[in-house]
Amino acid sequence: MAFTRSRWQLLYLVPVLFLAAFYVYPLLTIFDISLRPEGALDLSSFARLFSSDFYIGTLLFTFWQALLSTALTVMLALPCAYVIARYRFTGKSVLLSLSILPFVLPTVVVAMAFMSLLGKRGLVNDLLATLFSLDYSPIQLERTLAIIIIVHVFYNFAIALRIMAGYWASQGLATEEAARTLGANEWAVWRDIRLPMIKPALLSAAVLVFTFTFTSFGVVLILGGIRFATLEVQIYYQAVSIFNLPLAAALSLVQIVVMFVMMVLYTRTQRHVQLSMRSSAGIVKPIKSRAERLLVGAIVIFASVLLFAPLLALIARSLHLGGALDLSNFAALTEKSRGSLLFIAPLESVANSLRFALIAMLAALLLGLISSFMIARGGRLGRVFDPLLMLPLATSAVTLGFGFIVALDEPPLNLRSTWLIIPISHTLVAFPFVVRSVLPSLRAIPPSVRESAQVLGARERDLLRTIDLPLISRGLAVGAAFAFTVSMGEFGASLFVAQRESVTIPVVIYRLIGDPGLASYRQALAMSVILLLVCAAGFLLIDRLRVAGAGEF
Q: 506: domain CATH number? A: 1.10.3720.10
| Helix (H) or strand (E) run with residue 198 in it | helix 195-214
Evaluate whether residue 191 is within a structural domain.
Answer: no
Evaluate whether residue 39 is within a structural domain.
Answer: no
- 321 and 372 in a single domain? The answer is no
- 157 and 249 in a single domain? The answer is yes
For 456-504, where are the alpha helices, taking DSSP H only? 460-463, 469-489, 492-497
- 349 and 467 in a single domain? The answer is yes
| Helix (H) or strand (E) run with residue 28 in it | helix 25-35
Evaluate whether residue 59 is within a structural domain.
Answer: yes
Instruction: Please report the pLDDT score of residue 188 as a whole number.
Output: 77
Instruction: Please report the pLDDT score of residue 64 as a whole number.
Output: 92
- 322 and 348 in a single domain? The answer is no
Q: How far apart are CA 465 and CA 529, in angstroms?
A: 41
Out of 326, 345, 372, pick the residue that ends a domain: 326
| Helix (H) or strand (E) run with residue 321 in it | strand 320-321
- 318 and 219 in a single domain? The answer is yes
- 273 and 349 in a single domain? The answer is no
- 291 and 367 in a single domain? The answer is no
Other CB atoms within a 10 A radius of the CB of residue 268 amount to 15
Out of 268, 292, 326, pick the residue that ends a domain: 326
- 341 and 458 in a single domain? The answer is yes
Instruction: Please report the pLDDT score of residue 548 as a whole number.
Output: 44
List of residues 6+ apart from 306 with CB closer than 8 A: 76, 153, 154, 157
- 421 and 489 in a single domain? The answer is yes
What domain range is 391 assigned to?
Answer: 1-26+336-548
Evaluate whether residue 180 is within a structural domain.
Answer: no
How many domains does the structure of the chain reveal?
2
Out of 297, 326, 355, pick the residue that ends a domain: 326
Instruction: Please report the pLDDT score of residue 275 as a whole number.
Output: 45
Q: How far apart are CA 334 and CA 318, in angstroms?
A: 16
Per-residue model confidence as pLDDT tens for the chain (553 residues): 444 556 667 788 899 899 999 988 988 887 787 778 777 777 787 888 888 888 888 899 999 999 999 999 999 999 999 888 888 888 887 787 778 778 777 777 888 888 888 888 788 888 888 888 887 788 888 778 888 999 999 989 988 998 888 777 777 677 777 777 777 777 777 777 778 888 888 888 898 899 889 988 778 877 876 677 888 888 878 877 777 878 887 888 888 888 878 877 877 776 655 444 344 445 677 888 888 899 999 999 999 999 889 988 888 888 876 666 777 778 777 776 554 555 567 778 888 898 999 999 999 999 999 988 888 877 777 777 777 777 787 676 777 777 888 888 777 777 877 888 899 989 998 888 898 888 888 877 777 777 777 777 777 777 777 778 888 888 888 888 888 888 888 877 787 777 767 788 888 888 887 776 777 777 888 888 888 888 777 766 666 665 544 455 5
- 529 and 469 in a single domain? The answer is yes
Distances (CA, A) of 216 to 149, 163, 291, 409, 487: 11, 20, 39, 27, 17
Chain Cα centroid distance, residue 133: 41
Query: Are the beta carbons of 363 and 423 closer than 8 angstroms?
Result: yes
Q: How far apart are CA 391 and CA 264, in angstroms?
A: 9
Evaluate whether residue 486 is within a structural domain.
Answer: yes
- 315 and 374 in a single domain? The answer is no
Q: How far apart are CA 56 and CA 418, in angstroms?
A: 37
- 381 and 508 in a single domain? The answer is yes
Instruction: Please report the pLDDT score of residue 278 as a whole number.
Output: 46
Instruction: Please report the pLDDT score of residue 276 as a whole number.
Output: 42
Instruction: Please report the pLDDT score of residue 553 as a whole number.
Output: 53
Handedness of CA 15, 20, 26, 27 (dihedral sign): positive
Evaluate whether residue 543 is within a structural domain.
Answer: yes
Evaluate whether residue 192 is within a structural domain.
Answer: no
Evaluate whether residue 112 is within a structural domain.
Answer: yes
Among candidate residues 253, 258, 285, 338, the one with its CA nearest the CA of residue 36: 253
